[in-house]
Structure 1
Amino acid sequence: METSTLVLIVTAAVLFIALVVTAWVMSRRTRRAKEELAAAQQEHSSEESALTARHAGEKRELQQQHDSSLAELAVRNDSQAQQRLAEHETEITRLQAERDAAVKAGTESQQLAGQGMRWELASRELLVDACTAAGLDAIIATNIVFSPHDDEATAPYCVQLDHLVITEKAVVLVDSKNWKGLIFDGKKPSSMAGALSILFDETALPTSYAISLKRDSAGSVSVRSKLEHESPAFQVRRQARRFHGHLAARHGSAPYLQTCVFYSHPDARVWTDGLDEGERGRATRIASARTIQKALIDVQTNGSTAPTSHQLTQLVATVRELGADLHGTGRFASEFASPVPLTFRVPARAARTTATAPTATQDGPRMATRRRAVA
């Protein structure tokens, strides 16, 4: 055999053997890699299972903690809610007690304030209604009590004024008379019916007088006569002089005070000329519930000296200091609002302990119906 052929055969054999060895080596490496991959996959699966189990355990633990926290919060919230509900109910009870006490105190305060002007409540209401209906910007001061300076008096004394109607054009002192029945003020009875002259000596009547005829509960007619210095017109002029002197002594000047006798009872029928000339030209207007609006309008333009703004400011401050009840109309309505409602009436003695709201009594009728009609 030739050497080249032999070399070729040997070379081929070596290459074959090398190929076989290489294939065997590669096969073992492949098998080993597969085994390692399988082992790795098994280990990964084991780790994944362990992680899943651990995650599930942690999730259960967290859920348990969450549920426990929720239960604890629910118990705490229920406890706080019950506590706050109890505190709320306690606060409501306290506020209700305060409200009831305030309502009671307010009612008692109204009764005390109203008691001071018991007889002037109905006439105050009528005056406010009249000023409102007339469109007057007015301040109605009720129940003014002062001690005048009187050199002739042997002891100090007090004077009570029923009402002052204060506007920028006039100050009117109103003396309210709660008389009912037929009233002759400055007008002779015979001028109404000639037959009445048989009952009265009209020749003896002075310049100022008032005669009242009223039927009593027994059906008989009673007669009341107020003559000269006892007449309502003379009395209101005397009150005006005293109050004017009080204001002048206090402030150095005082506004001119016009006067009015107001028969405020709704059952009063007044026979009058509407004016009592009085002494020294100091005329006094005579009005009833039906004519008081006209009287208040007339005094605004009767030619008397209007008060100055300074005098009005001093006057309002003075009557406030004297404890008067102030109620405004027109543009003064918001500034001067009385704490005692216009419809308030002092309850009867037996009802004062149980009354929860102002009620009308025999002291005078409410004027709510009339007020609605005016509005």
Structure 2
Amino acid sequence: MTERWILWFVIAVLLVAVVVMSMLFVRRLRVMDRTAAVRTRERDQHFAELTEQHSREREHTVEEHRRQLAALEEEHQGAVQRADAFRLAASPPIKEDLVSRALILDSCRSLGLHGVLATNVQFLAAGGHPDKPFVAQLDHVLLTDSFAMIIENKYWKQLVFDGRLPSTVSPAFGPILDEKPLEKSFAVQVCTGRRRDQNRPSSNSDEDELLVRTHTNDSSPRSQVRRHAVQLKDRLVADDIRRPWFWTCVLYSHPRVELHVEPQPPVPEGKATRVLSGAAALRSHL
């Protein structure tokens, strides 16, 4: 009898142990499930954060790429516009430049002057708007060891009155020239030429006649060369280049020009714009 009770007691203990072990195992499984769930949520959250970060970085990269493309396109358009401006400005009559260039070079050689003569000098004027660049054009820039000079060439023929009223040369010019608009800075050319008359037949439309061309204020040759000197000075300053003092000169280079100009007394260096015609006057000035 005692042995039977002992057997049942052992069996009961074993059953209790099994139940306790099962409960502990189930609890451990639940803890493991919760831990796995937490890790899964953390992993999913980290993945979501990485995905969001990648998306932001990609959007930033795309936006930066788009901005760079827009900047390059704007720069390209600006370069195209500047090139177009240069092409438009690069169309002065080359014959006139070559004639005056040869005259200047011959004068320098005869005087033994050594230097550099740059012809048809073109550059972007400083301070212009990037969308509408302005190209300045200088006929000649003469650089020597002792001076620098900007020369405005005018290939005008026959009568030219630069700064001098035509009536002071001859009263005969009074009836054909209105001198009232003429101010301090002006130039008047009187010549014969052909003017196209569209109301006449083509065979008789080209006729020689008296032509009067008046240039006042900013359009006068003296004003032009002074303006060019200022533009070149500003360009050199903008590029941080040491600039020399520029003399200015207007040269009428046509071999058949008759120039009338007010007497030009000696003045300090670079303080006035000289108006010249012919090789002798140019050599005397140089």
Aligned to 1:265, the other structure's residue is in SS state coil
Deviation at 1:276, TM superposition (A): 10
User: % of aligned pairs identical?
Assistant: 33
Larger radius of gyration: 1
Q: Which runs of 4+ in 1 moved over 4 A?
A: 113-118, 151-154, 274-277
1:150–1:118 CA distance, 2 compared to 1 (3 A): farther
SS at match of 2:239: helix
Q: Give TM-score scaled by structure 2 length.
A: 0.57
Q: 2:148 corresponds to which residue?
A: 171
Q: Deviations over 1:116-163 (max 9, x none)?
A: 944311110000011112222232111111001125786112111110
Residue in 1 that maps onto 2:278 = 289
Q: Structure 1 pair 274/243, CA: closer, same or farther in 2 (3 Å)?
A: farther
Change (3 A) 1:114 1:159: closer
List runs of 5+ in structure 1 lacking aligned partners.
1-112, 297-375
User: Which aligned pairs between 1:64-213 and structure 2 lie closer than 5 A?
Assistant: 117-151=94-128, 155-213=132-190
d(CA) in 2 for partners of 1:211, 1:198:
15
Q: CA deviation at 1:206?
A: 0.9
Aligned pairs for 1:1-375 within 5 A: 117-151=94-128, 155-217=132-194, 218-273=207-262, 275=264, 282-290=271-279, 291-296=281-286
Partner of 1:5: none
Amino acid at match of 1:199: I
What amino acid is aligned across from residue 249 of structure 1 in structure 2?
A: A
What is the CA–CA distance in structure 1 between the aligned matches of 2:159 and 2:262, rounded to whole Å? Answer: 15
- Larger relative contact order, structure 1 or 2 (CA cutoff 8 Å, min sep 6): 1
Q: Is the 8 A contact 1:183 1:269 kept in 2?
A: yes
Flag the 1:152–1:273 CA change in 2: closer, same or farther, 3 A: farther
Q: Kindly indicate which of the two structures has a greater share of residues assigned to strand.
A: 2
Residue 201 of structure 1 and its aligned partner are, at CA, apart by 3.2
Question: 2:225–2:248: 8 Å Cα contact kept in structure 1?
Answer: yes
Q: 1:196, CA displacement in angstroms?
A: 1.4
Over aligned residues, Cα RMSD in angstroms?
2.7
Contact in 1 for aligned 2:128/2:134 (Cα 8 Å): no
Report how far residue 251 of structure 1 moved: 2.7
Residue aligned with 1:182, SS: strand
Q: Contact 1:172–1:257 (CA<8 Å) still a contact in 2?
A: yes
> How far has the Cα of 1:200 moved from its partner?
2.6
Question: How far off is 1:193 after superposition?
Answer: 0.7
Give the Cα separation in 2 of the matches to 1:276 and 1:262.
17
Which structure has more helix as a fraction of its residues? Answer: 1
TM-score (norm 1): 0.44
Residue of structure 2 in register with 1:330 after alignment: none
Give 1:292 deviation, angstroms: 1.6
SS in 2 for 1:293: helix
Question: Which AA in structure 2 matches 1:270?
Answer: L
**Long gaps (5+) in structure 2:** 1-89, 195-206
Q: 1:214 to 1:169 in 2, by over 3 A?
A: same
Distance 1:219 1:275 in 2: 34
